[in-house]
Amino acid sequence: MSSQYITRIRLKDAAQTDFERLDFEMEKAMFARVVLTRVINEESPADMREYNCLGTVSLQEITAATYKAAGKTGKQYSFTVALPPFDSAASKC
């Protein structure tokens, strides 16, 4: 089953160039960066990127693409993949 997912990736001790590499790799894997204008869980989003998928993919495909893209930065990382809260204005994958 496929659905829309939000993917949040956090890089440890990363420079701007590391985030640019992450953005590039995620875009190659058919993700679009979401520009964060709010604070998530009261933490600064400075070390975090959020992406939405641009196609119909499974959770397993999203996880595999995220591992691959984040791994190419050479930095330690963590990520979360979640279903977004229902929002009729949100784009569909």
pLDDT the model gives residue 2: 46
In a domain, 87, yes or no: no
Does residue 23 have a pLDDT over 90?
yes
In a domain, 1, yes or no: no
Range of the domain at 64: 6-82
CA–CA dist 1, 71 (Å, integer): 26
pLDDT one-digit tens code per residue, 33-78: 988 655 555 555 678 899 998 778 888 999 999 999 999 999 999 9
The CATH number covering residue 19 comes to 3.30.70.600
CA–CA dist 78, 12 (Å, integer): 8
Look up residue 86 and give its two tokens.
């229902």
In a domain, 21, yes or no: yes
Mean pLDDT throughout 29-34? 90
The total domain count for the chain is 1
In a domain, 52, yes or no: yes
